[in-house]
Amino acid sequence: MRHCDASSVSSDVFCARKEILPFLAFAAQLMISNLARLALTVVDSAFVGHLGTTELAAASLASLWTQCVLYTVTAMASALVALCGQAYGAKNYLLMGVWLQMALLLIAVLMPPTLYWYWSIDVVVQHATDDAAIVALGSRFGRILSASAWPLLVYVCLCQYLQALGVVTPTTINGIVCIGIDVGANYLLIYTAGLGFDGSPLATVIAAWFQPIALFLYAFVYKKYHRGAWGGWKLSELTWSRWKTFFRMALPLGLNDGCTFLYLAVLSLIVATLGSDAIAANAIFSNLWVLLQELYYSIGCAAEVRIAAHLGGRRPTSAKATAFMAVSVATSVAALVAIGFFVGARGVIGIFTSNDALLALCIDALPLYIGASLMLAVETVLSCTLEGMGQMGFVSLPLAYYFGITNNLGLSGVWLGCCVGGGAKTVVFAIKLATVQWSDMVTGALVAMEIVGGDDASESKRSTLPVFPRTILVLA
């Protein structure tokens, strides 16, 4: 990195000493916010796991297969991170509101098929197991959980719009409070109200509706953080050229996350051939996997926001340096997570089950699972910075089947295949990052943000954001 001086503020000079702490603070808040959103499903599994192995297997299968569609739509809406970030960097603030409107319209159109999938989940679950109890419970779990889909998607859109503005603290606090609500609702509905298994997805529905309502009332109605970056609903602004820009970014992102969760779901079909104990043990691993992926995605998302702002602000050198800084941070965090797993494995797994057989099964496969999670860290951050596509994830599936089933290595073999496949995907993304032409990326970002005539020529198209400069918001 170059020496940091006063001139570096306005030129394309990356000062690691000035960038690293705001980046870590931003990423940390994103971690809390994003983990809190996904923690709803994990909290369900933790409560349901103590009801029995059958209940845990059913809830896990239902969650994995519903998440395939839910997070495909979520990922498409997450194009807001890059698009709004580039608009922010280019100072075309009103365009940020247009991108938000497009994302909200997109999830409205995709909601009917999403709900249909939730209500038809039994068709898939019955192919994963011939246990009638697991199929019946899984189907009921998915149908109750369907009431949480729309508010979760709206919440994601609002969060990512605010994140591009640099406003993260409200979503962080909202997420922490929501976890408390979900835990309390699970306990009250399952045990106090006596609803048992059904109480868990109902608790998630309550928490899911709380999130967007609370965030909207605080951030938009009370604080008005959107002031200056929202021009109101105007159909004339939703042009076909903008829709093409939106889908050019949204479709690869949707395919990436869709493939990721489909990979986990199909993996559950492979594990299902090993029996109900293996299904339940893998359910624990899958829940932790989703949390780890979101942990690393938060680092990648923080990088994506900063990279987008640098590209929109014509700073290719800073964009490139931010990408490599993010990979370094993710690798360090992954190493700490791996150490934590080795030291506290029994405590972590014990959150989900008190069954000694499941605990032993998980401990046996843990080293390979940790290896796969290390690959996940680098792969996820590279995917965020590159907006890479996720079809390479299917390399892991035949490997998982080969090691786990064909060679009779069981759950350990399944995660050995995931580890090898993740390594292959990481190498592909690393090569792609090394060959990116960052100056070309700047040109593309400026065209997408409709800032092609230079600062003066485009000044009339820009609004102002007098309230919050990014440099203080990430630490606010």
Distance CA 194, CA 188 (A): 8
Say whether pLDDT at 232 is over 90: no
Q: Enter the DSSP assignment of 288.
A: H
Q: pLDDT per residue over 91-130, tens digit each?
A: 888 888 999 999 999 999 999 999 999 999 888 888 777 8
| Greater pLDDT, 432 or 124 | 124
Buried-exposed string 65-102: b where 16+ CB fall within 10 A, e elsewhere: bbbbbbbbbbbbbbbbbbbbbbbbbbbbbbbbbbbbbb
pLDDT (mean) for 81-99 = 83
Query: What is the pLDDT, as a whole number, of residue 471?
Result: 30
H or E element in which residue 186 lies:
helix 169-187
Global confidence as pTM: 0.70
| Tens digits of residue pLDDT in 319-349 | 778 888 888 888 899 899 889 888 888 888 8
So what's the pLDDT on residue 2? 44
Q: And the tokens for 92?
A: 């075309």
pLDDT class of 20 with cuts at 50, 70, 90: confident
Q: What is the reported pLDDT for 447?
A: 59
Q: What is the pLDDT of residues 33-72, one digit of tens each?
A: 777 777 777 888 889 888 888 888 888 888 888 888 888 8
- Going by C-alpha positions, the residue among 160, 144, 147 that lies closest to residue 226 is 160
Given a cut of 50, is residue 458 above it in pLDDT?
A: no
The CA-atom distances, in angstroms, between 315 and each of 33, 282, 415, 420 are 28, 44, 41, 36
Residue 110: predicted pLDDT: 92
Separation of alpha carbons 390 and 384, rounded Å: 11
What is the chain's mean pLDDT, rounded? 78
pLDDT higher than 70, residue 133: yes
**Is 239 within 8 Å of 228 (Cβ atoms)?**
no
Supply 165's token pair: 């503005």
pLDDT bucket at 76, cuts 50 / 70 / 90: confident
- The residue whose two tokens read 């109902």 is 202
* Digit-coded pLDDT (tens) for 172-226: 888 889 889 999 999 999 999 989 999 999 999 999 999 999 999 999 999 998 8
pLDDT score at 342: 84
pLDDT at 8 over 60: no
- SS3 breakdown of the chain: % helix, strand, coil, rounded to 5? 85, 0, 15
For residue 390, name the pLDDT band (cuts at 50, 70, 90).
Answer: very low
Burial of 345 (0-12, 13-18, 19+ CB in 10 A): middle
Q: What is d(CA 448, CA 464) in angstroms, rounded to the nearest whole number?
A: 19
Calpha distance 349→355 (Å, rounded): 10
Q: Which residues contact 369 (CB under 8 A, 6 or more apart)?
A: 285, 341, 415, 418
